Amino acid sequence: MTIREAYTAVIAQAETWKGAAATEPYEAAWAGEAVVFLRLLKKGKGNLRNVRVRVQISPDGMHWADEGAALRIPADETKVTFCRVTNFGHYLRLAATLPRGAECQVLATLSLKA
Amino acid sequence: MDPVQRAILRADPRLSKFDPLPRILFFDNFTTGMSGWNVLLGNYTESLDRRLPEYKLMTTPMLSNVTHWDGGTHGALDGSYAMKIATRPIRLAQTVALKRLTFPKACPIQLETWFTFKPEASELKLSELDVRSIGFIFDVQDQARRVLPQIRYLNAMDGKPAHRWQYKDKCIPFSDVGEKTVSVFHYGEEYWEDVPGGEQRLCYNEIPTKINWHYVKVGWDLRTMRFTTLQCNDRVFDISHLGGIEIKAMPNLWNLFNVILSVGTDVDKRAFAYFDSILVSGDWE
């Protein structure tokens, strides 16, 4: 039996988001599906309730398009939010635009599976 | 190595391009997965904020089929996938990936890999001086000392070609990151020395999106805590008189054997290092 390859990539490791934020490009051409998880590592500042964290895809890691999937920033450090993505292009990343005065420290992971 | 074993290795197209010591500890060619490689996570207690700043810049390794915007998928040397490590687009940022194990016996060990490196193709320029360095490092500890043998190929420095191999045997002081844990960023720019006769020009090719694979071999002896060999393609460098950074043995690291790879950028542009395959071998009974 061949086990399906799976790899969890931490794409934002205690990164602080404010203003226009995006994670570093992550290549995942080998994966057929991804679950994106988002956690807050400490209490956020400002109004984060309406922030839409968008999954973006790219053929080259330089030109990005919204995939359509999105997730919310968790309400507090005890919660986790997620979304599922399939049929994505070569690269994945998360992008968000936070309102003025808003700031949060996030841990974002891609749980990828072949 | 006895002739039968040698013949078997030479008959396997995946292994024939390597020159291993008698026992293969691991062989990863990244066609079936990441094989135990991960980002170097800086030490911390209580909060990830306690990590040293250089470690906060590091990013997770990727399985890459080396795809470029203009030429499409380059692929690996063997199969489609290679392991890729990438810096952030911040001058002097580094990313380090490693595989953690312990050594079964103090003996000669050897890292071999087919690798290449490139800057992100974000400019339509040659960009051959954008990647600063690529590193090949061990982290080992016996009953008396922890030793960090560090070798790097310095491609460029401050926009000027460097094209030489370097080693490091001194280290800045450790920092306390809380409770019983300490940390040090020993990959920094300080204390690098040129390997004697270590100048070497590697094939960069003619645009940022064409890659060529290179062979490197780094040998270390866990008994003497000295290098045994350094080879890149057709050049062999005598580094048998050189050692690594030595510090007193640390708690909880007995028989430590980490195999470590790094890449650094010389400009505000991502630097990428790709590893088609990695073979680590030893000579023990």
Which of B48, B62, B64 lies at the smallest CB-CB distance from A13?
B48
Taking residues A51-65, report their average pLDDT: 98
**Interchain CB distance below 8 Å, A10 and B62:** no
B21 three-state secondary structure? coil
* Model pLDDT, residue B179: 78
**Interchain CB distance below 8 Å, B86 and A24:** yes
Residue B260 lies in a domain: yes
B221 three-state secondary structure? strand
- Each domain of chain A, given as residue ranges in start order, spans 6-113
* Model pLDDT, residue B32: 87
> From CA B168, how far away is CA B27, in angstroms rounded?
27
Question: What is the band of B1 on the pLDDT scale with cuts at 50, 70, 90?
Answer: confident
DSSP A20-81: EEEPPPEE-TT-SEEEEEEEESS--BS--TT-EEEEEEESSSSS-EEEEEEEEPPSSTT-EE
- With CA atoms as reference, the chain B residue closest to A114 would be B33
- Express each pLDDT in B103-146 by its tens digit: 999 999 999 999 999 999 999 999 999 999 999 999 999 999 99
Residue B128 lies in a domain: yes
Range of the domain at B110: 29-282
Q: Which residues of B248-264 are buried (b: 16+ CB within 10 A; e: fewer)?
A: eeeeeeeebbbbbbbbb
pLDDT higher than threshold 90 for residue B168: yes
**Interchain CB distance below 8 Å, B48 and A14:** yes
Taking residues B25-30, report their average pLDDT: 97
* Model pLDDT, residue B109: 98
pLDDT higher than threshold 80 for residue A1: no
- With CA atoms as reference, the chain B residue closest to A109 would be B60
Min Cα separation B9/chain A (Å): 25
**Residue B216: closest CA among B121, B152, B141, B267:** B152
Q: Where is A108: in which H helix or E strand?
A: strand A104-113
Which residues are paired to A60 by β-bridges?
A: none
Which residues are paired to B30 by β-bridges?
A: none
* Model pLDDT, residue B143: 96
Phi-psi region of B163 (alpha: psi -120 to 50; beta: other; left: phi over 0): left
Phi-psi region of B177 (alpha: psi -120 to 50; beta: other; left: phi over 0): alpha
Q: Where is B163: in which H helix or E strand?
A: strand B160-168
Q: What single letter denotes the amino acid at residue B256?
A: L
- With CA atoms as reference, the chain B residue closest to A60 would be B69
Would you call B200 an interface residue with chain A, using a CB distance cutoff of 8 Å? no
- With CA atoms as reference, the chain A residue closest to B33 would be A5
pLDDT higher than threshold 90 for residue B214: yes
The whole-chain average pLDDT of chain B stands at: 96
Percent of chain B at pLDDT > 70 equals 100
Taking residues A50-60, report their average pLDDT: 97
Residue B19 lies in a domain: no
pLDDT higher than threshold 90 for residue B84: yes
Percent of chain B at pLDDT > 90 equals 93
Taking residues B87-91, report their average pLDDT: 98
> From CA B136, how far away is CA B37, in angstroms rounded?
14
Which of A5, A62, A90 lies at the smallest CB-CB distance from B33?
A5
**Residue A41: closest CA among B178, B46, B41:** B46
Chain A residues within an 8 Å CB radius of B32: 5
**Interchain CB distance below 8 Å, A30 and B67:** no
Q: For chain B, how many structural domains are there in total?
A: 1
Question: What is the band of B180 on the pLDDT scale with cuts at 50, 70, 90?
Answer: confident
The overall pTM is greater than 0.90? yes
Residue B102 lies in a domain: yes
**Interchain CB distance below 8 Å, B69 and A60:** yes
For A6-113, CATH number? 2.60.120
Taking residues B243-259, report their average pLDDT: 96
Which of A5, A9, A63 lies at the smallest CB-CB distance from B60?
A9
Would you call B57 an interface residue with chain A, using a CB distance cutoff of 8 Å? no
Helical segments of B157-271, H only: none
Chain A residues within an 8 Å CB radius of B81: 30
Which of A11, A25, A29 lies at the smallest CB-CB distance from B65?
A29
Residue B53: give its domain's CATH number. 2.60.120
* Structural Rg of chain B based on CA atoms: 18
Taking residues A77-103, report their average pLDDT: 96
* Model pLDDT, residue B178: 83
Chain B residues within an 8 Å CB radius of A59: 67, 69
Question: What is the band of B27 on the pLDDT scale with cuts at 50, 70, 90?
Answer: very high
At B95, list the tokens: 């990313």
Percent of chain A at pLDDT > 70 equals 99
**Interchain CB distance below 8 Å, B62 and A26:** yes
